[in-house]
Structure 1
Amino acid sequence: MNDVRIAAVSKQLPDYSRETKDILPLVEMWLGDQEERFRRKVLKIFEGAAVDKRYSIMAPEEVFTATSFEEKNAIYVREVKKLGTKVLQNALSAATWGTDSIDYIITVSCTGIMIPSLDAYIINDLGLRQDVVRLPVTEMGCAAGVSGLIYAHNFLRSNPGKRVALVAVESPTATFQLNDYSMANMVSAAIFGDGAACVLLSSEEDAVGPKIVGGEMYHFTYATQMMGFDLTNHGLKMILDPAVPETIASHFPDIVHPFLARHGSSIENVSHLIFHPGGKKIVQTVEDLFGALGKNIDDTREVLRLYGNMSSATVLYVLERFLEKEIEAGEQGLILSFGPGFSAQRVLLEW
């Protein structure tokens, strides 16, 4: 089998951004009719979410304006096309790859609906080849960035000398529900932000960058109610079970140790943790579990602070930080994310 390497990772942020402290007055206005105790509780959630700033495809005032699902989704479609094209361009120039050299394009998004999928527009906008293989990944939520890496790895392992572009574009703000006062909606509004990321991978003999040793998925049986969206007449309504952190904790040893053992490694050999920042509580849970093993997830916490949770794209922002570091040859990194299903996706890297 030939090696699969990560050639480049890049990001692209939308035009609008606001610090959390500047969003609080909008939240107060939105919750104006709610009882004061509830309002105070929600503001505390925003203040304690460990997110200092977030980006969005529309002005924050627009996010808090009542519009139809159709109108919000139209903004999503318009903006993700721009972000997807731009982020792939960023990555191609970082790797000095021509647009006509991409053999396989994977696009990832779960925060809006568009058919044809995003990849079709990127192919036209950037002039990708007519025989490029398309794979849109649409319903795997926060885990889909890692799912995309696994699909890319599988394709490249069986196809030497090929190149893959993985493009993740998400706009959770386009799914924000103005009339949903559930805790799931409050928590997701407090942690989510918009953003795009792109990873370029190659199975060429002269490819450089960290090597993917292996990638696997882990399915939590009978846990479909843990996380996802309900499709309502008002749009995509957030489902988020408060038991997610403890569910992860109970499965954690089964998720991490057998996977590493199958690839001839162990947690002792893994120097770098590239974990998806799902939210403050999940980060804390995973930090406690890894901390007990003498590891840290500082980069994960920092990405959450700077951008919030951008669903599938977020873990790729963490990955980008590791590609910018000076890492010794032979050192290993574990990429890990969780998403609807309920599932855990993991990839083992070696520099």
Structure 2
Amino acid sequence: MPRITAVHPVLPAHRHEQADIAEALVGLMTSGPGEAELLRRVHAACGVRTRHLARPLADYTRRSGFDAAQQAYPELATGLGVRALEGALDRAGVGPADVGLLLFTTVTGVGAPSVDATVAARAGLTPHVLRWPSFGLGCAAGAGGLALAADWARSRPDGVAVVLAVELCSLTVRTEHPERADVVAAGLFGDGAAAAVVVGDDRAAGHPGHDVLAARSHLYPEETAALGFELSAAGFRIVLSPRMPGLVRDRLAPDLAAWLRDRGEDVPADWVVHSGGPAVIDAYEDGLGLARGRLDPSRQTLAEVGNLSSAAVLHTLAAGWDRPHGSGDRTVLAAVGPGISAQSLVLGWSAS
């Protein structure tokens, strides 16, 4: 059974209160007192207390353009990626030469080669490591990456796979002629990375962690226009429909609940859902029929670091790693991204 034996989250050094970030953006994204007050209200309602940014806050108070932001992405992302990868390997007790698969995901920077090539070299991975970069799954990619890594490790008892998520959401903020979705995104998303180590049966022995018992992907192609990015000369334009909470409540969560019931897994010990925003987390609770508070770990991640896109579920999973677990305790991990794509896993704790 493939097992997640370590998760290591990392954050940039520049940590700021939500209100301070909002004030820094007022001059860039608003043209009068009314718009400024709207931005402040939107940011205050995002459920975020603090966020970490890849660059000093002062760098965001002047317009630099999409080209400059994407030129900064490779080095900033590589630094975070190396820290996350090395930390995860250290926690798992495996060396860089043991890694057979590096599954890298991001939705906030583009380039070829993708930054995982540089991360692999700096971290000392073997030149024969299989790299599999991913772009486009967005917030669902952390969960989807774990599922793919588990499938790979299932047929390789001695295999070691790493899922590496690096997101620099602050580099995608559009300040030229912003729409309401841009204002919301500027208050919701943060910067961060995380790496998870997934191993095969032989490697798992003696290493506590979460066995990957089942995984599921569900595509809702008729909802393509509800979430994602559009690329233009001005850079990333976020697509963030106000219908998203309703879609989660009325379709995604009930479909997830039905799958769990079919598996006899409808009463898990823990839930790790993507911290997409207060309304999305509430929608998961409502759609799954959970009591308020069951998803507080995801709310805590949102409050402390914002929405980290693909890295968010890995941060929440890591936050609960050291709490007492009973043998076989189930954790359901779920996230949603562009497509719309819902990615879900059932994990079972093993102490040996």
For Structure 1 versus Structure 2, the TM-score category normalised by the shorter chain is over 0.9
Q: Matches of 1:160 and 1:316 in 2, distance apart?
A: 23
TM-score by length of 2: 0.94
1:349 Cα deviation from its structure 2 partner: 0.3
Q: Kindly report which structure 2 residues correspond to 1:308-323, keeping only aligned pairs within 5 A, or say none.
A: 308-323=306-321
Q: Matches of 1:281 and 1:253 in 2, distance apart?
A: 13
**Structure 1 gaps, min length 5:** none
Provide the aligned C-alpha RMSD in A: 1.6
Residue 123 of structure 1 corresponds to: 120
Q: Matches of 2:29 and 2:94 in 1, distance apart?
A: 49
Name which of 273, 278, 282 aligns with 2:276: 278
1:42 Cα deviation from its structure 2 partner: 1.6
Q: Matches of 2:341 and 2:175 in 1, distance apart?
A: 29
- List per-residue Cα deviations over 1:317-349 (Å, max 9, x = no partner): 001022121110111010000100011100000
Amino acid at match of 2:161: V
Q: Which moved more, 1:194-203 or 1:40-49?
A: 40-49
Amino acid at match of 2:12: P
Q: Kindly report which structure 2 residues correspond to 1:215-294, keeping only aligned pairs within 5 A, or say none.
A: 215-262=215-262, 264-268=263-267, 270-292=268-290
Indicate if the aligned counterparts of 1:279 and 1:309 stay in contact, CA closer than 8 A.
Answer: yes
Q: Matches of 2:296 and 2:289 in 1, distance apart?
A: 11
1:22 Cα deviation from its structure 2 partner: 1.6
The number of residue pairs the alignment matches comes to 346
1:31 Cα deviation from its structure 2 partner: 4.2
Residue 19 of structure 2 corresponds to: 21
SS at match of 1:218: strand
Amino acid at match of 1:266: E
- List per-residue Cα deviations over 1:191-244 (Å, max 9, x = no partner): 110000000010032513110001110111311101111111121111111101
Residue 157 of structure 2 corresponds to: 160
1:126 Cα deviation from its structure 2 partner: 1.6
Q: Kindly report which structure 2 residues correspond to 1:179-194, keeping only aligned pairs within 5 A, or say none.
A: 179-194=176-191
Q: Does 1:210 align with 2:213?
A: no
- List per-residue Cα deviations over 1:245-296 (Å, max 9, x = no partner): 101111135421332245x32312x110011100121112113334546870
Residue 324 of structure 2 corresponds to: 326
Sort the Cα spacing of 1:18 and 1:295 in 2 relative to 1 into closer, same or farther, 3 A.
closer
Percent of aligned pairs sharing the same letter: 27
1:30 Cα deviation from its structure 2 partner: 2.4
Q: Does 1:52 align with 2:44?
A: no
Name which of 133, 136, 143 aligns with 1:136: 133
SS at match of 2:113: coil
Q: Matches of 1:87 and 1:312 in 2, distance apart?
A: 14
Amino acid at match of 1:98: G
Q: Does 1:196 align with 2:193?
A: yes
Amino acid at match of 1:55: H
SS at match of 1:341: coil
Q: Matches of 1:13 and 1:242 in 2, distance apart?
A: 28
Residue 109 of structure 1 corresponds to: 106
Indicate if the aligned counterparts of 1:27 and 1:43 stay in contact, CA closer than 8 A.
Answer: no
Name which of 77, 80, 98 aligns with 2:77: 80
Residue 168 of structure 2 corresponds to: 171
Sort the Cα spacing of 1:53 and 1:295 in 2 relative to 1 into closer, same or farther, 3 A.
closer
Indicate if the aligned counterparts of 1:255 and 1:344 stay in contact, CA closer than 8 A.
Answer: no
1:170 Cα deviation from its structure 2 partner: 0.2
Indicate if the aligned counterparts of 1:228 and 1:340 stay in contact, CA closer than 8 A.
Answer: yes
Amino acid at match of 1:47: A
Indicate if the aligned counterparts of 1:109 and 1:312 stay in contact, CA closer than 8 A.
Answer: yes
Q: Matches of 2:45 and 2:309 in 1, distance apart?
A: 19
TM-score by length of 1: 0.95
Indicate if the aligned counterparts of 2:285 and 2:295 stay in contact, CA closer than 8 A.
Answer: yes
Q: Matches of 1:72 and 1:143 in 2, distance apart?
A: 24
Indicate if the aligned counterparts of 1:196 and 1:313 stay in contact, CA closer than 8 A.
Answer: yes
SS at match of 2:27: helix
- List per-residue Cα deviations over 1:114-135 (Å, max 9, x = no partner): 2101221122112211221111
Q: Which moved more, 1:292-301 or 1:110-119?
A: 292-301
